[in-house]
Structure 1
Amino acid sequence: MNDLASNLPIKDVLPELLSSLKDTNRLVVQAPPGAGKTTAIPLALLKEEWTADGKILMLEPRRLAAKNAARHMANILGEEVGETIGYRVQMDNCVGDGTRLEILTEGILTRRLQSDPELTGISAIIFDEFHERSLQADLGLALSIDCQEGLRDDLKIIVMSATLDGQGISTLLDNAPIITSEGRAFHVETKYLGKPKTNRWGQTDIVSATVSAIKQALKEETGSILTFLPGEGEIRKVEAELKHLKLPQNCFIAPLFGAMPLAEQDKAIRPTSADQRKIVLSTNIAETSLTINGIRIVIDSGYRRIAKYNPNNGLTRLETKQISMASATQRQGRAGRVETGICYRLWDKHAEGGMESFDVPEILEADLSSLALDLANWGIKEPTELKWLDVPNKALLQQARDLLINLEILDQDLRITKHGKQTARMPMHPRLGHMILVANQYGLAKEACDLAAILSERDFLNDRQNSSLIDRIKALPNNPKSKRIKALSRHWFSRVSKNSKIKSSVINEDLESQFGLLLSLAYPDRIALLRKPKESRYQMSNGRGASLEETDKLHGNACLCIADLSGEGRDSKIRMAAPISVISLKEFYKDSLEEGSFATWDKRTRSILARKQTRLGKLILSDETSNDLPNDQIEAAIYIGIRDLGLRALPWHKESKSLLARMRCAHFLDKQNWPDVSDETLLSSLEEWLSPYLSPLLNSVRKLEDLASLDLTSILLSLLDWSQQQELDKFIPSHWQVPSGSRIRIDYENMEAPVLAVKLQEMFGATETPVVGNGKLPLTLHLLSPAQRPLQVTQNLVSFWSDSYHAVKAEMKGRYPKHPWPDDPMSHQATAKIKKRL
């Protein structure tokens, strides 16, 4: 047994774990926070014979966690990082010839698998903190399983988690053994401080509540404090308020969030002297895999900030959300690592009943563009060819594939192109990788790398009144907050600069238009034209709207390419953009322009307009009237108009309305044998059922009123075959012959309770309520007075004759003396006539 584990809860299961791995290549480890799994297990595996000839890869969800774990394990071995233990994170590798255990961030494993599907020289992959269910972790596991099953049956896969139900993972891994470590190193007490109050804007005041909790913890407890806050904004506000307080001299504040330089992050996790108290203000970056020495107090705000993808506009925005109980457990586990601890929770205990058990996996609601590219690069057309804990969201995957086809990364058959192969090697969103590679063909890779780096990181200017990406480019050299962005840009440029070309005359614009055109390579769907001069509203090439604040520096530009927006209203707010001249846009995209006569539906005049236009996507770059209008354009505009106004736009008459209602009733009673003719279905399938009847009219149609000659009764009947047309009259008859001999039309507007409105005297002698639909559906009788006013509504005629009729007779006989009102209506002859004509 590894001496390291002697004081950790994981020690009790290490023998079972090591023994299991001699017999199986798949294993699930469940261990609560603080059990020691992240360090003890990989170090124990290094002593096993089966690891002697191959490396172990261990995945961590964040760069800081990867580096910290490597440093901690190297320290245990009495070595420097880069000897036996190394790490690989973005832009920073520390491995040597003798490295046997590499700690990686999750995306690096995917790229390693893509370049070497056999994982040559690798004995095992450990997925640490898998409960976080990041998109890259899910993909990495799916590809690793595929590698193991197809190429490397000796490769061992170990999935470790603190809070995830291991049974689901075990089932995915063909019922792999589950090793469970019970208990935490030290007990952690929980105190509930109640939900924070709201501020004057009605928002939860997390900052004030957190400051209050820190003051309480400093007074009540000893040791350092780890505070979990949603994001950098709240961290900076809490930091500012704490600095105004008279904190004890031995206290110091240490912010910790992902956008900080790694050196600054290290300060927050570095050990302190025994007499110092550290107050760490952290995002959920410290939720897993980090051991911050001296922490025995956790303050949990109960919130986190996550990237939320909106498939309706294709944008990913940061949103503040309540954490799950799994996250709360993880955060609580940061205390009690080296001694008993305490966790202050800023909510009521009873509120935990309404919290989600686990966070929603990214794969179900994230932008899947990178996943779609990785699957295509792996040779996978359908995601079900791989094994997943949750199969990727089908609609989101299709949306991602549409984007990749548009960028020529995939072909129409979803096969990866040569350009797609190059893009897949770029460690960034496919949009940005595509932009850099195409820009490189014009000798503009450096400029594109600057743009990509700015868009990949948090906005270092953070100026809501200035959405100009050009100003951010200009500020890069001297802004102290842009250090990581510049490093990213240099790193990416080094990957493509070997093949960089001399600048092409194709893009010879000034600085602003040049960057606008480069940006349009990544976001061709977000090229935007000003709707009207001096306005702030734009239309994008994807058809959606966008707007600028009137105080924004870019306000008034006729054409923009937009990289970032916020909001979900009619017009999203532009956050980052660059201007383009329309002239250079036409020149650069001349092969993509669509020119010709177009029919458009004008909502205001409710008519079809003929225009000669030059279009880029849904943008109209030039527009004038035209007399030449193709029939297919007219037809398409007609469908838009009908969908705009609804089915009422068509020439319905009494007979066609009645037939439509009868067909809907037939479908209601028997969905299997009768077509669906609901408004929704008819509108969505206009092209199928209306097209044959429109063709003869297209030359003369300019308004929907010009469709007056359409025979909707015949058109509806065409949706039924001959036998259905014959059966409809029996199944759902249009009329009912009442005892008087009259044929009365049935009203099927309410298909669940069709109405027969008939004069009461015409129903004398009837002892049964009429039924349609082969006896399934009774008619609702509206029994009328001689003046055609309702006297009674019933579905039980016998009950009416026996009871309510006599009251009706007493009231109506004097008012209508010329009409019969017999004492026994069930035996009286029905009539539509008055007495003297009988």
Structure 2
Amino acid sequence: MIRQDALDALPVRDALPELADALATHGTAVLVAPPGTGKTTLVPLALAGLLGEGPARRVVVAEPRRIAARAAARRMAWLLGEEVGGSVGFTVRGERAVGRHTRVEVVTTGVLLQRLQRDQELAGVDVVVLDECHERHLDADTAAAFLWDVREALRPELRLVAASATTDAEGWARLLGGAPVVEASGAAFPVEVVWAPPARPVRPPHGLWVDPALTAHVASVVRRALAERDGDVLVFLPGVGEIARVAGQLTGLGEVDVLQVHGRAPAAVQDAVLAPGARRRVVLATSVAESSLTVPGVRVVVDAGLAREPRVDHARGLSALTTVRASRAAGRQRAGRAGREAPGAVYRCWAEAEDARLPRFPSPEIKVADLTAFALQAACWGDPDASGLALLDPPPGGAMAAARDVLAAIGAVGPDGRATPRGARLARLGLHPRLGRALLDAAPVVGAGLAAEVVALIGEEPPREYGDDLAGALRAARRGGDAYAGRWRTEVRRLRSLVSEVSKGSGGSEGSEVPGVPGVSGPSARGSGSPSVRPAGEDARVGLVAALAFPERVARADGGSYLMVSGTRAEVGAGTGLRGASWIAVAVADRPVGRGHARVRLGAAVDEDVARAAAGTLLESREEVRWADGDVVARRVERLGAVELAVRPHTGADPSLVRAALLEGLRREGFGLLRWPAGAVVLRQRLAFLHRRLGEPWPDVSDEALHARAEEWLEPELSRARRRADLARIDAGQALGRLLPWASGRAVLLDELAPERITVPSGSGIRIDYSDPEQPVLAVKLQEMFGLQETPRVAGVPLLVHLLSPAGRPAAVTADLASFWKDGYRGVRAELRGRYPRHPWPQDPATAAPTRHTNARLGR
């Protein structure tokens, strides 16, 4: 029996005629409807013709989360007065409730993608509704792009609806070929905003870490809301850890039930939250409660203002969730939960002034997440670089390149970037390609059951109390009676059946298609995808599965931490069972606040044979010649990525490598490694002056320029050198002479343009100081310059004359001798003639005879 009263109360009903017209005219539409209006429940029923109006159609509704898909299906079935599996059903990973007469099927976007890869036409489907588009999950963006391709190339009659409460409607309209935007009015229940910032500043989140002071403040705000308002309280927190922390701080609430809802909660708990409660409730939830489902009885929302988004740490090769400030769009969605059934209030745990600085929308996953699974989907779709896909945001080039490297390493794509048959099978598994590779390649070695168990454990990180030792966590899951263990067993059964299906589909020749894949035998070996090692003992086999999933995270103990083959360092906890293992395979890691190294959250002990097999493409043996500890070091190294396995000294190294090492030494330590006689230093200074004054063809002899031409001016001496001591025997002056412009014939002008010495009026040859390339200096005794009116010049530049006292101390500095004789000499004479009476101090130096001698020598 259709619950007509409940249907009539949904405001989106008024927008149904406009939506029907848009789909009839354009085939696509963007539906914008506030929370609680019925866009997730009423619209699919109407489009399917289940309300007695319109033709019968088959509608697929795609939701971003399993909990939302199940809840939406159950709500629609309730509105029709049916059980799930009748006219309305759902399919999520590991669970399906669909019957022969199902007309509306709610699926997760991941399930929809797998269907599209198997059947691009979506035969039998008339309408697809992509719900909650504003969340910008990568699977949803990908599904939208694929569906637009299907509509454009194969099925122009397929109708598409992008639906959300808060979204970039114009962007989605452009993406769907100029689709009409249909807006529905919301329920007339106001929501009062109460700003409730902490009394003291809290530290910003980092990674998965959230300041305990914030969760304590959220708990106090919940108590305040319970005292000030009626109805149930829905609290938004970023993750399971914060939910548990706040739950622990809300003990002693009396006649109030504290419930926890998140993606890991058992289905029974999730269902209980979505049903009216007999007592007042506080529901602690992650962002799964933002949309697509109504928690009945809620009149108050307490928003911590945080969310979890995926991020990739490219520097360390780690991808994980990180805690960020929730967007304004998410804030509106959350606040709307309080006004679905009656007027309500939202307590926001931040200052009103901060609100305008929050991001407008969540970060699109395609911009920040690991793109390996997306790249495989695109490759299987026939568009390896995703350049032809209709996406709101293009994938970043660097992230796509990194993703393609991973796919090529596991044999999922060929040299042209297109999916191999193996890649197509990996895409059908509904797993990250890394985990799919581990499942398929480990199953023949460790058994399908154990491979499925370990992959299921890695695929959804187990509770912290299971520990960080993967083998120990496996034993805990096997004996566990908690919600996680229940979900894990369901996933294990699904993966075991997938292994069987894929093995049959590939004819048992998985490995024959991927010669050279790390740890995978080619056709000339075993003819199977199994690694070449057979580890003994279950713990070792668990490690093999983890190593096959993350070969670049295989790590060896090194000085108190572990060095991954990728070059990233990682540390294990003090009480872990991993401590003491010589090798580990890191399945899950993050970076703690203020630490440069990664922290192992889940890993397994392995041995070197497993490491070599799993990361086989990174294994190499080569000669290494480098500058280290002040000299050339030559050695033969066997290396697994960044990890050195074996090292021995190497004689007879390749001369080109030795030369490169010597040049590196010169770059690091400077040209002081060469022999620099006094004449060599002066020659470099003269050349620097001419280059600055006249330019080409006089050479640039700065450090940068000499490094750039090192092989030119240091040969042949450099080719004969083998170590630091050989560099010290190279005459830098002789080598610099090779840079003179001999070819143009101007080299012979060196002594004319920049002479090393100049003859002064007394007849002395005085050395010119070229240490300042702007203006060379001539330091000469004052009496030797008597009678000279013109300041000496080199290359047209007047010398800066340092006139010295008889004792060789500076008495005056000038670049204009005539002016000095006229104006400056009188003061110098008055100061020095009494101090040096034996030397001549004529009144008119411009006409006096220059001399190197005293008055006595002059016969005065």
Q: Which amino acid aligns with 2:624?
A: A
Residues 430, 34 of structure 1: alpha-carbon distance in 2 compared, 3 angstrom cutoff: same
- Is residue 402 of structure 1 aligned with residue 426 of structure 2? no
| 1:4–1:40 contact (8 Å) kept in structure 2 | no
1:229 correspondence with 2:237: yes
The residue correspondences of 1:706-745 to structure 2 (distance < 5 A) are 706=727
Q: In structure 1, the residue corresponding to 2:250 is in which secondary structure? A: helix
> How far does the alpha carbon of each residue in 1:678-716 deviate from its partner, in whole angstroms, 9 at most, with x for none?
97x999xx8x99699889856743449749859899999
Aligned to 2:213: 205
How far is the alpha carbon of 1:160 from its aligned partner?
Answer: 1.6
**One-letter amino acid matched to 1:259:** R
Choose the corresponding residue for 1:72, options 71, 75, 80. 75
Partner of 1:20: 22
2:376 corresponding residue in structure 1? 373
> CA 1:483–1:332 in structure 2 vs 1: closer, same or farther (change >3 Å)?
same
Corresponding letter in the other structure for 1:567? R
Tell me the residue number matched to 1:539. 563
Deviation (angstroms), 1:395 = 0.9
Residue 240 of structure 1 aligns with which residue? 248
Partner-residue secondary structure (3-state), 1:359 = coil
Q: SS at the partner of 2:299? A: strand
Deviation at 1:403, TM superposition (A): 1.6
CA contact (8 A) 1:55 1:121 kept: yes
Superposed counterparts of 1:16-165, under 5 Å: 16-47=18-49, 52=55, 54-165=57-168
Q: Does the aligned pair in 1 maintain the 2:713–2:738 contact within 8 Å?
A: no
- Aligned residue type for 1:267: A
Contact kept, 8 Å, 1:608 with 1:703, in 2: the verdict is yes
Aligned match for 1:254, one of 246, 259, 262: 259
Change (3 A) 1:704 1:35: farther
414 and 342 in structure 1: CA distance in 2 versus 1, 3 angstrom threshold = same
The 8 Å contact of residues 317 and 566 in structure 2, kept in 1 or not, is answered as no
Aligned to 1:821: none
Distance verdict in 2 for CA 1:808–1:195, change over 3 Å: farther
Superposition pairs of residues 560-575 of structure 1, within 5 angstroms: 560-567=584-591, 569-575=595-601
Residue in structure 2 matching 1:278, options 277, 281, 291? 281
- Separation in 2 of the partners of 1:447 and 1:660? 73
Task: Supply the AA of the counterpart residue of 1:41.
Answer: V
- CA distance, structure 2, for counterparts of residue 664 and residue 574 of structure 1: 57
Matches within 5 A, 1:671-820: 697=718, 700-703=721-724, 706=727, 756=775
Which has the higher mean CA deviation after the structures are superposed, 502-511 or 354-363? 502-511
Bigger Rg over Cα: 2
Is this contact kept in 2: 1:32–1:183, CA < 8 A? yes
Q: Which stretch shifts more, 396-405 or 161-170? A: 161-170
Alignment of structure 1 residues 257-656 onto 2, 5 Å:
257-273=262-278, 276-442=279-445, 444-462=447-465, 466-481=467-482, 482-497=485-500, 499=503, 506-531=533-558, 535-567=559-591, 569-583=595-609, 585=611, 593-596=619-622, 598-601=623-626, 603=628, 605-631=629-655, 633-634=657-658, 645=668
Aligned to 2:524: none
Counterpart amino acid of 2:569? G
Measured after TM superposition, the shift of residue 165 of structure 1 is 2.4
Post-superposition offset of 1:72: 0.8
- Deviation track 1:199-219 (CA, whole Å, cap 9, x = no partner) reads 899936122222222222222
Cα pair distance change 1:629/1:299, threshold 3 Å: same
Secondary structure of 2:384's counterpart equals coil
Task: Summarize the Cα distance change of 1:696–1:529 in structure 2 as closer, same or farther, 3 Å threshold.
Answer: farther
Deviation per CA, 1:135-161: give whole Å up to 9, x if none.
111111122222222222222222122
Task: State the shift of 1:812 in Å.
Answer: 7.7
TM-score by length of 1: 0.79
On the 8 A contact 1:638/1:704 being kept in 2, the answer is no
TM-score of the aligned structures, taking structure 2 as reference length: 0.77
Counterpart selection for 1:219 from 217, 224, 227: 227
Which secondary structure state, in structure 1, belongs to the residue aligned with residue 424 of structure 2?
helix
1:192-249 alpha-carbon deviations (Å, 9 max, x no partner): 1123536899936122222222222222211111011122222122222222x242x2
Give 1:353 shift.
2.4
CA distance in 1, matches of 2:686, 2:16: 75
CA distance in 2, matches of 1:252, 1:551: 36
Give yes or no for contact 2:554–2:615 (8 Å, CA) kept in 1: no
Higher mean C-alpha displacement, 471-480 vs 809-818: 809-818
Going from structure 1 to structure 2, the CA distance change for 1:584 and 1:177 (only over 3 Å counts) comes to closer
The CA deviation at 1:349 is 0.9
Distance 1:589 1:504, change over 3 A: closer
Unaligned 5+ runs, structure 1: 670-674, 749-754, 773-778, 819-827
The alpha carbon displacement at 1:69 in A equals: 0.8
Distance in structure 2 (CA, Å) of the matches to 1:707 and 1:386: 61
1:508 Cα deviation from its structure 2 partner: 4.4
The CA deviation at 1:191 is: 0.7
Q: Which deviates more, 142-151 or 584-593? A: 584-593
| Contact kept? 1:196, 1:205, Cα under 8 Å | no
Mapped partners of 2:655, 2:301: distance in 1: 70
Instruction: State how far apart, in whole Å, the 2-side matches of 1:353 and 1:478 are.
Output: 49
Are 2:237 and 2:243, in contact at CA under 8 Å, matched by a contact in 1? yes
Listed one character per residue, the Cα deviations across residues 96-132 of structure 1 (whole Å, up to 9, x for unaligned) are 2222222111111211111112222222222111111
Matched to 2:223, the amino acid is K
Listed one character per residue, the Cα deviations across residues 640-693 of structure 1 (whole Å, up to 9, x for unaligned) are 7677x3877986986998899999999xx9xxxxx9x997x999xx8x996998
Report the Cα offset of residue 514 of structure 1. 2.2
Which letter does structure 1 place at the counterpart of 2:230? T
Q: Does the CA contact (< 8 Å) of 1:757 and 1:784 recur in 2? A: no
Residues of 1 paired with 2:96 and 2:683: CA distance? 74
The amino acid across from 1:95 in the alignment is V
How far is 1:255 from its partner?
0.7
Partner Cα distance (1:186, 1:682) in 2: 76
Measured in 1, the distance between the counterparts of 2:666 and 2:778 equals 39
Letter in 2 for 1:233: G
Amino acid of the residue matched to residue 47 of structure 2? Answer: L
CA distance in 1, matches of 2:124, 2:812: 90
Q: Give yes or no for contact 1:129–1:289 (8 Å, CA) kept in 2.
A: yes
Could you tell me the percent identity over the aligned residues? 30
Provide the C-alpha distance between the structure 2 equivalents of 1:529 and 1:380, rounded to a whole number of angstroms.
Answer: 38
- In the alignment, residue 70 of structure 1 is paired with which amino acid? A
Q: Report what 1:775 is aligned to.
A: none
* Matched AA of 2:335: Q
- Secondary structure (helix, strand or coil) at the match of 2:128 reads strand
Partner SS for 2:584: strand
Q: 1:106 to 1:629 in 2, by over 3 A?
A: same
Q: Tell which deviates more after alignment, 627-636 or 809-818.
A: 809-818
Deviation at 1:183, TM superposition (A): 4.1
Q: Secondary structure at the match of 1:383?
A: coil
2:763 counterpart residue number: none
Secondary structure of 1:333 counterpart: helix
1:513–1:579: 8 Å Cα contact kept in structure 2? yes
1:763-811, Cα deviation, whole Å (9 max, x unpaired): x999xxx999xxxxxx9x9998879999999xxx99xx99xxx999999
Query: Would the alpha carbon gap of residues 126 and 453 (structure 1) be closer, same or farther in structure 2, given more than 3 Å must change?
Result: same
1:272-312 Cα distance to aligned partner (Å, 9 max, x none): 24xx3121011111011111111111111111233332111
Would the alpha carbon gap of residues 636 and 127 (structure 1) be closer, same or farther in structure 2, given more than 3 Å must change? Answer: farther
